[in-house]
C-alpha cells in the first residue's frame, strides 16, 4: 500500500462519529454502530429501499435496492453469519493519487469473528471503469487489512426463489423449541420433503404445522437439500 493510510468513519447510536485508521479497526468497534446513511422512502424514488426483519439479528436491517435486499436475504440464510450491519462505515483513502470515498453495503461477522465486507452491484455495471476501479480499491485496502471482501450481483434465480420461500419460516419465536428438537431427532435419516412432513405430523398434531416445522428446519440448516433445484415434496432432505 502507498499513500496515506485509509480511514473509516463509524456512526454510533448516540449520533457520534468515530474516525479510525483502517489498520486499527476491530469488529468490536461496531457494537453500537448504526448505518451511515438513513434509509429514505419517497415518491418517484429510483431505488426501492426497505427494511428486512433479519433472523440473524432478530431485528430489522435496511437495504437501498431490491438487489441489496436479495443479497441481504442470502446473508441471513448463511449459517456462518452471526451479525449483519448495513452501510457500516464511510471509507476514505488515497488510490494512486486519487482520493476515494466509499460506503460499503454490508458488514458481516462470522461465528469465528472474521469479518466480510460486501458491496452489491448489478452484473451489467461491473465492467464500467468507474465502478471497476472503485471496487478494486476497496478490495485492495480491505484485504490488506485482513478482512474478506465480496462483490455480489444477481444470485441464481432458483436458489433465490427457494430461499425467499423458506424465509417465511425463519422466525424462531413462531415455533416451540421442544417441537423443533423433536422433529430434528425424528428426521435423522434422508427423506423426501413429503415423507418428512408425514413423519413430523404426530409431533405437531397437524400436517400444516408439521410442514412449517420442516421448512423451519431447512431455514436453520438442521436439514439440507439442493436449493439450486425447485423445492418440492420429492426434494431429498438430509440431516446435518
| Diameter over CA atoms, the chain | 68
Instruction: Give the pLDDT score at 96.
Output: 87
pLDDT at 141 over 60: yes
Burial category of 117 from C-beta neighbours within 10 Å (exposed 0-12, middle 13-18, buried 19 and up): buried
Torsion of CA 222, 225, 227, 232, to 10 degrees: -110
Instruction: Give the pLDDT score at 102.
Output: 95
Q: What is the pLDDT of residues 180-190, one digit of tens each?
A: 999 999 999 99
Instruction: Give the pLDDT score at 5.
Output: 83
Q: Domain ranges for the chain, please list them.
A: 7-152, 157-239
Contact 171, 140 (CB under 8 A): no
pLDDT at 1 over 80: no
Contact 63, 72 (CB under 8 A): yes
Q: Comparing 37-46, 100-109, 110-119, which segment has the lowest mean pLDDT?
A: 37-46
Sort strands 90-95 and 81-86 into parallel, antiparallel or unpaired. Answer: unpaired
Q: What is the pLDDT of residues 74-84, one digit of tens each?
A: 999 999 999 99
Instruction: Give the pLDDT score at 45.
Output: 65
pLDDT at 192 over 80: yes
Instruction: Give the pLDDT score at 97.
Output: 87
Q: What is the pLDDT of residues 148-159, one digit of tens each?
A: 999 999 999 999
Q: What is the pLDDT of residues 4-43, one digit of tens each?
A: 789 999 999 888 999 999 999 999 999 999 999 887 666 6
Q: What is the pLDDT of residues 199-220, one digit of tens each?
A: 999 999 999 999 999 999 999 9
Instruction: Give the pLDDT score at 4.
Output: 72
pLDDT at 125 over 90: yes
Instruction: Give the pLDDT score at 38.
Output: 80
pLDDT at 2 over 80: no
Q: What is the CATH number of domain 7-152?
A: 3.40.1350.10
Instruction: Give the pLDDT score at 219.
Output: 98
CA dist., res. 115 & res. 150, Å (int): 11
Average pLDDT over residues 104-115: 96
Instruction: Give the pLDDT score at 3.
Output: 63
Q: Can you give the three-state secondary structure of the chain, one letter per residue? A: CCCCCCEEEEEECCCCEEEEEHHHCCHHHHCCECCCCCCCCCCCCCCCCEEEEECCCCEEEEECCHHHHHHHHHHHHCCCEEEEEECCCEEEEEECCEEEEECCCEEEEECCCCEEEEEECCHHHCCCHHHHHHHHHHHHHHHHCCCEEEEECCCCHHHHHHHHHHHHHCCHHHCCHHHHHHHHHHCCCCEEHHHHHHHHHHHHCCHHHHHHHHHHHHHCCCEECCCCCCCCCCCEEEEC
Q: What is the pLDDT of residues 7-17, one digit of tens each?
A: 999 999 888 99
Is the alpha carbon torsion for 10, 12, 18, 23 positive or negative? negative
Amino acid at each position: 500500500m502507498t499513500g496515506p493510510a485509509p480511514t473509516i468513519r463509524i456512526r454510533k447510536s448516540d449520533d457520534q462519529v468515530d474516525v479510525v485508521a483502517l489498520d486499527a479497526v476491530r469488529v468490536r468497534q461496531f457494537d453500537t454502530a448504526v448505518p451511515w446513511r438513513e434509509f429514505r422512502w419517497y415518491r418517484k424514488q429510483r431505488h426501492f429501499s426497505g427494511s428486512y426483519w433479519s433472523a440473524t439479528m432478530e431485528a430489522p436491517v435496511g437495504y437501498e435496492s431490491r438487489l441489496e435486499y436479495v443479497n441481504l436475504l442470502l446473508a441471513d440464510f448463511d449459517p456462518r453469519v452471526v451479525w449483519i450491519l448495513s452501510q457500516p462505515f464511510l471509507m476514505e483513502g488515497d488510490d494512486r493519487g486519487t482520493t476515494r470515498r466509499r460506503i460499503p453495503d454490508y458488514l458481516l461477522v462470522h461465528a469465528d469473528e472474521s469479518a466480510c465486507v460486501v458491496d452489491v452491484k448489478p452484473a451489467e455495471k461491473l465492467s464500467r471503469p468507474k465502478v471497476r476501479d472503485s471496487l478494486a480499491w476497496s478490495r485492495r485496502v480491505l484485504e490488506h487489512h485482513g478482512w474478506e471482501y465480496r462483490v455480489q450481483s444477481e444470485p441464481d434465480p432458483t436458489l433465490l426463489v427457494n430461499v425467499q420461500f423458506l424465509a417465511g419460516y425463519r422466525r424462531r419465536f413462531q415455533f416451540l423449541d421442544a417441537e423443533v428438537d423433536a422433529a430434528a431427532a425424528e428426521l435423522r435419516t434422508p427423506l423426501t420433503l413429503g415423507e418428512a412432513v408425514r413423519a413430523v405430523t404426530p409431533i405437531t398434531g397437524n400436517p400444516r404445522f408439521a410442514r412449517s416445522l420442516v421448512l423451519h428446519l431447512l431455514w436453520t440448516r438442521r436439514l439440507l437439500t439442493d436449493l439450486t433445484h425447485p423445492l418440492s415434496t420429492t426434494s431429498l432432505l438430509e440431516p446435518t
